[in-house]
Amino acid sequence: MSILAAYQTAFESGDVETLNAIIHDDFTFTPHVGDMVMKKSDLLAFAGTDSVSTEAHRILFENDEVGVEHAIAHFANGSTSEAVLSFHRFKDGKIYSTETGATPLSDDYKLIGTSD
């Protein structure tokens, strides 16, 4: 299983043990909003909570140095869902840094091919 596939599965399920193993101790997460940088402990505390869920997750590219993924993110606080592009750097076989960019989706957003 790729690092990003393992990360997504562990994050969604709240598997902190697996996340701890695949996230570098010096990890930084620079989200697209908030003008802040989160650390590994912040990510581990956030994993598996109901605050964010994703769908249509796709790994666009991954090698030993970097990974790029895309997903639709939904937030429990009622904020607008977003199409999120994430760029990850790897070090020592672990996720070392993550940065995101996002586009807010309209209220009438639907995945193509769904009947909802």
| Residue-level pLDDT at 112 | 65
| Residue-level pLDDT at 109 | 63
Please list the ranges in the chain whose pLDDT falls under 50: none
| Residue-level pLDDT at 99 | 96
| Residue-level pLDDT at 110 | 66
| Residue-level pLDDT at 51 | 84
| Long-range interactions of 33-40: CB distance < 8 A, separation 24+ | 33/102
Q: pLDDT tens digits, residue range 74-97?
A: 888 888 899 999 999 999 999 999
Domain residue limits, the chain: 3-104
CA angle 96, 69, 5 (to 5 degrees): 75
Within 10 angstroms of residue 51's Cβ, the number of other Cβ atoms is: 10
The topology (CATH level 3) of 3-104 is Nuclear Transport Factor 2; Chain: A, (3.10.450)
| Residue-level pLDDT at 52 | 84
Q: Give Rg (Cα) of the chain.
A: 14
| Residue-level pLDDT at 18 | 96
- The candidate with the shortest Cα–Cα distance to 55, out of 20, 88, 107, 8, is 8
Residue 47 class from Cβ within 10 Å (0-12 exposed, 13-18 middle, 19+ buried)?
Answer: buried
